[in-house]
Structure 1
Amino acid sequence: MAVFSFLKNHKSQIQSLNPADFKTIIAGKDVQLIDVRTAQEYAQGTINRARLMDVSSMDFEQEIEKLDKSCPVAVFCHSGARSMYAAKVLVKKGFPAIYNLRGGIVFWK
């Protein structure tokens, strides 16, 4: 049962947004926009101002530590699965406001 309460707590801090709402959120100057895809995917095109932090990299959790915990974080990937994983890691690291692009960059375009 403890696992389910742990996951429930994560959901309250993570908001999965459709592209229109995500666009509104990332328009805020204090929002940290993170592309959690690979460098190859990032090179093929990303969202303006996005910082690359490959979630599959061994350094991912160390890179997260460089972010400002007082500012919201918006994450995205190709389809939304990797970014949801990244969002859960961000919650575990103490970030209070995390936004995930539902459907990923596939639905952004």
Structure 2
Amino acid sequence: MTTFDDRERAFEAKFARDEEMAFRITARRNRLLGAWAAEKMNLTAEEADAYAKAVVQADFEEAGDEDVIRKIVGDLTAAGVEIDDGQVRKALEEMAVEARRQTIESM
């Protein structure tokens, strides 16, 4: 039975590591997306940093990416930047690739 128990513990540990990695990548992606949006809104460095953190926090409102996309589109529109969901989704995909690369390189 110990071999089975060892395998079970190994699978559980791998699952936990994979979930933590996914969380880190998503948080990093959201921070990069926030920085991208802050640049479009011409925010100062301090404002941009605070805004990027706010975007990361916005992801905790509901499951999925819709809360983040809604925040970015709403904020950019309020700032007078012409943008639509498609452009934000494209940036979100680009930031996901970059966030994965940065996270993997930092390990």
Query: Structure 2-normalised TM-score?
Result: 0.27
TM-score by length of 1: 0.27
Which has the larger Rg?
Answer: 2
More strand by share: 1
Return the structure number with greater helix share.
2
